[in-house]
Amino acid sequence: MLISNAYAQTAGAAADPMGGFMGLPFIILMFVLMYFMIIRPQQKRAKEHKSVLEALQKGDEVVTNGGLAGKVVNVGDVYVRIEIAANTEVLVQKPAIASVLPKGTLKSA
């Protein structure tokens, strides 16, 4: 005989009525951990970046996301004009500013 017979399985134990809810606390715990480890710190960073951009003023030394470092010449509602070298100014959007440097940082570089 090349093919063996297939028999039906015997009846198993009765299913646990609470078995479906045992994974629920684990899923809730994962969402709580994800909130405190990922979402909350990101919201805090975004709030700090927004406050830095609102406090931006003429004379501040900044670094853009692209790596340009320079001194703020003019601050508008949407754009900031940055002097990156003598007589060389670039116009960037406010959100493109990554950080504000301490005063005198560019002179020492």
Extended beta strands in 1-109, E state? 61-64, 69-75, 79-85, 88-93, 97-101
Q: Kindly report whether the global pTM for this prediction surpasses the value 0.85.
A: no
- Domain spans of the chain, in order of start: 22-108
Round to whole Å and give the CA distance between 56 and 47: 15
What fold is seen in the domain 22-108? SH3 type barrels. (2.30.30)
Percent of the chain exceeding pLDDT 90 equals 69
What are the pLDDT digits (tens) for 63-80?
999 999 999 999 999 999
What are the pLDDT digits (tens) for 15-63?
556 666 777 888 999 999 999 999 999 999 999 999 999 999 999 999 9
Q: Which of 105, 94, 100, 103 is nearest to 62 (CA)?
A: 100
The confidence score (pLDDT) of residue 15 equals 58
